[in-house]
């Protein structure tokens, strides 16, 4: 007879990992977990991509010299600009509350739950390289 014990152990481990990951969807300085990033991707594509671009490349902006300074373009959210200078918590807060500078970046709390937004942050972080992950947040200045 096949010994079922190893399978039981495996399932228990999987379940524990899933349950524990519920509140560690994304953590500053750490790679997001794959499931959260996967949940965040379709939300990003529905609500954010029209401005922040496919895979977070940002909105194409004309050169500074000819652009209207009062119009805010959507920055890149991949690791090419400064999204990674913020902690996860700050990103979540900014997305929920919106920008104080422009009504273009609305307060998404009217539309999305905190969990949705954490999943979106996990997706955004899945677009970052290892260096941005390691140096994320307040320590970005001393880390590079």
Q: Which is nearer to ligand HEC, 83 or 127 (CB)?
A: 83
Q: Which is nearer to ligand HEC, 33 or 95 (CB)?
A: 95
Least gap, CB of 49 to ligand HEC (angstroms): 8
Give helix 114-126 / helix 88-97 axis angle, nearest 10°: 130
Least gap, CB of 105 to ligand HEC (angstroms): 3
Least gap, CB of 138 to ligand HEC (angstroms): 14
Which three-class secondary structure state does DSSP give residue 115? helix
Contacts of 9 (CB under 8 A, 6+ apart): none
Q: Which two tokens stand for residue 60?
A: 């194409």
Q: What is the DSSP letter of 73?
A: P
Binding site for ligand HEC (CB under 6 A): 47-48, 50-52, 72-75, 77, 81-83, 91, 94-95, 99, 101-102, 104-105, 108, 120
């Amino acid at each position: 007879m096949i010994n079922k014990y190893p399978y039981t152990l495996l399932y228990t481990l999987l379940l524990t990992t899933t349950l524990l990951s519920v509140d560690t969807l994304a953590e500053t300085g750490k790679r997001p977990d794959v499931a959260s990033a996967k949940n965040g991707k379709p939300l990003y594509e529905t609500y954010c991509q029209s401005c922040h671009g496919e895979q977070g490349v940002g909105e194409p902006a004309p050169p500074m010299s000819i652009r209207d300074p009062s119009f805010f373009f959507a920055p890149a959210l991949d690791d090419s600009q400064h999204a990674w200078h913020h902690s996860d918590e700050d990103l979540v807060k900014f997305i929920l509350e919106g920008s104080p500078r422009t009504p273009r970046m609305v307060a998404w709390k009217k539309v999305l739950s905190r969990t949705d937004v954490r999943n979106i942050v996990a997706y955004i972080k899945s677009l970052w390289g290892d260096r941005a992950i390691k140096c994320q947040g307040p320590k970005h200045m001393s880390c590079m």
